[in-house]
Amino acid sequence: MDTAQDLGTLAHATAERLARRHVGVAVAVVAGGRDGYAAAGTTGRADGGTPGADTLFEIGSVTKTFTALALARMAVAGTVELDEPLARLLPEGTSVPSRDGQEITLRHLATHTSGLPRLPKGMMLRALLRPRTPDPYAGCTADVLLSGLARTRLGSTPGRRVRYSNLGAGILGLALARRAGTTYERLVTGQVCAPLGMSATVVAADAAPPGLLAQGHDSRRRPTPAWNLADLAGAGALRSSAADLVTYVRAQLDGGGPAELAKAIRLTREVEHRANGFAWMHLGWRGHRLHPRQGAHVQIWHNGGTGGFASFVGFDPETRTGVIVLSNTQHAVDGPAFELLRTLQTRAA
């Protein structure tokens, strides 16, 4: 992969492919010291413009990687310990479930090995009773989350197996913010975004630069309200742009930012919990190795989805390649994103 033009051509092909089903998409690719951007469709706003590198999308569960990096940054600083019990960071008297004598730790939450269910207590029932709720997480206040936590049974012993949990990631964000004496948004801004110069990555929609927010759409391409996630923000509340996420991926590949942040990034990948022979969890990130017939490359990644958006961020530290795909439609973008990353890896190998 020799030129930025080559990268732009690859990104454009993926953007055009996704635009057949999505209202609008933004694609960014990173290869070595170069990057390329492409977009297709529209932002869904009244102006009808094509998304740009600075257009903001809800990134959903990609937020979990920011939450985990904030944990790693605080661990490097000595503010928390990875194996510190969750209960120590929550209000006194909070009941935290355990199993087989094993308490839930911060490491467990960040690697999805806590045994907690995917959703907060009672949320599935509420979703069934009110299937068209604009933001299903709007009622997830700290009081509701901690009250439900006390009544939750673990599906497995903490630390034993991967059990993906929005609840666990959200509780981690809540606990870290409480230890830091701040809000989740200020925590992530201070620990991750500001040191990297990612000024457009925000939680609150009204904190975004005017005119840069894309309009979300459901699976039928109908406009849909934004999601907020209340105090479950650590599971998926961030909004970001292709440009900011290129900066984020470059930090993952090159250890950008202050030395303490680079050390925290290394820590997120030093922690590893095997799900099977080919896949694992880091702090916040998923990882797997491709079959030898596909090149046997490592892909570290996370995807995201909200009521009106879909996202994917993936990279390979060995070939120094990465891919960002953002959409303002509730359709997964994973397939084309993985294919694009594999193409970059093959060309860089």
Per-residue pLDDT of 168-177, as tens digits, reads 999 999 999 9
Report all structural domains of the chain as residue ranges with CATH numbers, in order of start.
Answer: 4-348 (3.40.710.10)
Q: Is pLDDT of 119 > 70? A: yes
- Give per-residue pLDDT as tens, 63-78: 999 999 999 999 999 9
- In whole angstroms, give the CA distance from residue 31 to residue 15: 17
Question: Kindly report the CA angle at 89 between 120 and 119, in degrees rounded to 5?
Answer: 10
Secondary structure of 266-312 in the HEC alphabet?
Answer: HHHHHCCEECCCCEEECCCCEEEECCHHHCCCEEEEEEEECCCCEEE
Mean pLDDT of 250-279: 93
How high is the pLDDT of residue 212? Answer: 94
Q: How would residue 2 be classed by pLDDT, with cut points 50, 70 and 90?
A: low
pTM above 0.85, yes or no: yes
- In whole angstroms, give the CA distance from residue 253 to residue 320: 6
- Give per-residue pLDDT as tens, 136-145: 898 899 999 9
Q: How would residue 342 be classed by pLDDT, with cut points 50, 70 and 90?
A: very high
The alpha carbon of 273 is separated from its chain's Cα centroid by a whole number of angstroms, namely 18
Residue among 252, 318, 242, 321 nearest 285 (CA): 252
